[in-house]
Amino acid sequence: MGKNSAYEGLQESIKKLKTPSIEVWENKYKDKSYTVYLEIPEFTCICPKTGLPDFAVIKIEYMPHRFCVELKSLKEYIVFYRNIGVFHEHVVNKILEDFVKACSPGYASITGEFNTRGGIKTTVRAEYKKKT
CB 70 within 8 A of CB 23: yes
- Tell me if residue 47 is catalytic: yes
Please tell me which residue in 31, 45, 47, 68 is annotated as part of the active site: 47
Please tell me which residue in 31, 45, 54, 68 is annotated as part of the active site: 54
* Sign for the pseudo-dihedral over CA of 111, 129, 97, 3: negative
Distance of CA 53 to the CA centre of its chain: 16
If phi > 0 it is left, if psi is from -120 to 50 it is alpha, else beta; for residue 104 that is left
Q: CA dist 8 to 4, 114, 122, Å?
A: 8, 22, 21
Report the SS3 class of residue 122.
Answer: strand
- d(CA 85, CA 97) in angstroms, rounded, equals 18
Active site residues: 47, 54
